[in-house]
A and B are shown apart, each in its own frame.
Chain A
């Protein structure tokens, strides 16, 4: 099936098996292995990418459903010699150990900070009429779709909190 995807600003014309997930299109067909396959069932968040600015599990959607969409993967967020502030904070705070969930965490957190800036409430929001603030509870709640078995959670929260504080 012919599918056109704009990934990290570059247009790709692909001819894919219609069963190909967006994640497998990235990993198997475009060599973009930064997005990870942890469960292939939308249960772990390791494959999180942004589609038209919103975070989604790329394993739970077929590539052919995204004809014309703008996709941002971890490769579009920063490179080893040009890290985003969040990527740098993950390093400084030791927000990872094995590193396998990390690209998903960072994609997720990047989009999550936008969601907070736009005022979206969460389960942890005290008053949904107020703008949500970046408390530990808010961050932990909003990042709970991204599992980390090494359990860098406290450091992930710290990395996100510090990044947001510094950019504010």
Chain B
């Protein structure tokens, strides 16, 4: 029985700093790299499964009504068709992250246009696709339902309401005030790999090869959806082609594949096509956000307000947590916040990279720029002046927080001192502007387990159902184990993405690396302890390097110490009192230079820099790449990304990659990233914090603030497309 380690006290011993193998923190290549660059890494829909049939899903053509497949028999008779399935257990929408149970089920009533209401199975993909496209779906007794927040029923979220001090009076008495309302549209995660599953039944047991981020929850969600015991389900996802939140919860294609495979008595693959990914996975809620800022003559905030309207399908509890960082990023005694949730019949809202802060900090940072402009103060100085001593609402201390250092260092690296005045710099037809914004994201530790085996051959194996969705899990878990056990990186094998392995936290909320990393650390710590006991020394006096143990002025090889035994230990971490005792978050600052075309309003990002502080960095190369990715999401949010809905029926009008504009290579300059050295003893025994989402939490504001600096145009309706910029010029 392995003890559960609860993070109840700060880990001030900083044991990783004592290790001498030199792996943790180093910018090492991803060990799975050779497989990925040669196309040999196996993603969900790439397993070679014998006798596999193909399923293609069918969509609802409207947002309401009873679903009737009016030519079902004709379709069933088409060449190659094996089944047309509209089982009660099909999902209305994906499960929310960590749901751990089935989401709303039932394909007989449409709740949004694009809902997946049936699956057609055929011998070949071509036959299945043709048959699925041939299904005539009618919606009977359809009602007029709200598809935009303007006409929808709105539910105040009482638990999100804050009223501290007296913001109204502060706004009246302040030397400077901003009261601005911003809007952000819905966003799509848009991972490059569309959602796909291959289901294979072996008797009563189901093997599901899927593309998922959090397998221990996904297994339970899938089992609950099917009405079977979770022990009957094994999920495999060793490689996931991006997730960004859209693969957190079990999704319609997995349940459809499992039901279909049962019905036709063969393995079935169901892959969503790109339009279905846009129409029926998850969206980030659209938001309307009113920001109020009240500052004294020196730019010190005496009050701030953040009121948000978000949306979701009826019955869904997820409400985009846009206020999350507003609670602690800046000081100000008088604070007022609220959130309303509009019930709209559009595809489900859930987590998209950095739910909450991605749009919440971005909008708040735009408003802070308005305040700096009004006061006539350097925007960096305005932020610096408003860094609170302690959490301004709870009064709790912060854990590590190199926020001011990030502002200062980022400004220096970027050359912020050289920034032009508003509409001051022009190069030919291009107006040049600089902008900046702060970055902030909450930090979370989640329960996670991993098994580590040390062999007498001087190798180790790390096993957990953790996933690597591009985040670098394969790299960092090997680095942690290698450092702790004194093994070269290549001597550590990391096995992931299989629910038959110890359950991990999963990839979400930026907690994956620190949570699953801690479980590996703990397992290795237990192995070190056992080695020390065998050698009759204190674990603290044991130095492990290159497969050899040094202690008491002697050195012995692992084979000699272990004889023929392996040491196998399980690491198991849970959050503890440090999650409550302090305010834990990651911080940073973005700086951007844009060129806005004087005649067309087109914005090009010329330079962009981010400085981030996220505790101990586990791999400088993969951590930097995470930041590049986040900042690029920010470029998309600032300039192009918007799910466009038809206001009549909630139809996603731009449900493809040619019309939902994620940044392409030419839209992204050679971004630069600085990672500050930091240890957060309160976070976990590795002193590491999450970094997967920090790069997006405010990034877009740096660009819109730069557009203002270049043109004098303040776009309050994201994204800043040409029409909005040129209208103000």
Asked whether, in the complex, the Cβ of B625 is within 8 Å of the Cβ of A97, the reply is yes
Docked Cα-Cα span, A69 to B170, in Å, equals 74
Q: Does B361 make an interface contact (CB < 8 A)? A: no
Interface stretch of the complex, out of B319-327, B338-346, B654-662: B654-662
A18 to chain B, nearest CB (A): 9
Q: Knowing A99-B470, A152-B629, say if A78 contacts B38 (CB, 8 Å).
A: yes
Interface stretch of the complex, out of A85-93, A113-121, A126-134: A85-93
Which residues does chain B contribute within 8 Å of A2, judged by CB atoms?
none
Partner of B242, one of A75, A78, A98: A98
A127 to chain B, nearest CB (A): 17
Q: Knowing A34-B38, A147-B662, say if A155 contacts B43 (CB, 8 Å).
A: no
Docked Cα-Cα span, A124 to B665, in Å, equals 13
Partner of A80, one of B34, B46, B194, B656: B34
B657 to chain A, nearest CB (A): 4
Q: Is the interface of B mostly helix, strand, loop or mixed?
A: loop
Docked Cα-Cα span, A78 to B32, in Å, equals 15
Docked Cα-Cα span, A121 to B585, in Å, equals 48
B636 to chain A, nearest CB (A): 9
Asked whether, in the complex, the Cβ of A100 is within 8 Å of the Cβ of B242, the reply is yes
Of the candidates A32, A77, A90, A97, the one having the most CB atoms from chain B within 10 angstroms of its own CB is: A97
Asked whether, in the complex, the Cβ of B670 is within 8 Å of the Cβ of A136, the reply is yes
Q: Does B167 make an interface contact (CB < 8 A)? A: no
Which residues does chain A contribute within 8 Å of B191, judged by CB atoms?
98, 100, 149
Q: Knowing A91-B33, A141-B666, A150-B629, say if A100 contacts B38 (CB, 8 Å).
A: no
Q: Does A146 make an interface contact (CB < 8 A)? A: yes
Docked Cα-Cα span, A37 to B605, in Å, equals 30
Asked whether, in the complex, the Cβ of B665 is within 8 Å of the Cβ of A19, the reply is no
Chain A: CB-nearest residue to B273:
A40
Which residues does chain A contribute within 8 Å of B30, judged by CB atoms?
91, 94
Docked Cα-Cα span, A154 to B189, in Å, equals 20
Asked whether, in the complex, the Cβ of B39 is within 8 Å of the Cβ of A74, the reply is yes
Asked whether, in the complex, the Cβ of B625 is within 8 Å of the Cβ of A144, the reply is no
For chain A, give the interface size range.
35 or more
Which residues does chain B contribute within 8 Å of A80, judged by CB atoms?
34-35, 38, 40
Q: How many pairs, one residue from A and one from B, have CB atoms within 8 Å of each other in the complex?
A: 196
Q: Knowing A99-B239, A151-B628, say if A33 contacts B34 (CB, 8 Å).
A: no
Docked Cα-Cα span, A40 to B657, in Å, equals 10
Partner of B241, one of A36, A140, A147: A36
Chain B: CB-nearest residue to A88:
B37
Partner of A79, one of B36, B38, B244: B38
* A1-52, CB < 8 A from B: 17, 19-20, 24, 27-28, 31-41, 43-44, 46
Q: For the A-B complex with A97-B622, A98-B193, A100-B192 known, give 17 more contacts whose Cβ atoms are closer than 8 Å.
A: A24-B126, A28-B124, A28-B125, A38-B274, A43-B658, A98-B241, A99-B36, A99-B41, A100-B43, A100-B242, A140-B668, A150-B192, A151-B663, A153-B628, A153-B665, A156-B665, A158-B670
Q: Interface on A for B, CB 8 Å cutoff?
A: 17, 19-20, 24, 27-28, 31-41, 43-44, 46, 73-75, 77-81, 83, 87-88, 90-92, 94, 96-103, 106, 124, 136-137, 139-141, 143-158
Q: Interface on B for A, CB 8 Å cutoff?
A: 29-30, 32-43, 45-46, 48, 124-127, 130, 189-194, 239-244, 271, 273-274, 469-472, 621-622, 624-626, 628-629, 631-633, 656-658, 662-671
Can you name 26 A-B residue pairings with CB atoms under 8 Å? Answer: A17-B124, A20-B126, A39-B194, A41-B274, A74-B39, A80-B34, A87-B37, A94-B621, A99-B32, A99-B241, A100-B43, A100-B191, A101-B192, A103-B37, A137-B666, A141-B666, A144-B667, A146-B665, A149-B242, A150-B625, A151-B633, A151-B668, A153-B628, A153-B665, A155-B625, A158-B670
Q: State the 7 A-B residue pairs at the shortest beta-carbon distance, nearest first.
A: A34-B39, A100-B241, A98-B470, A99-B36, A97-B470, A151-B632, A91-B33
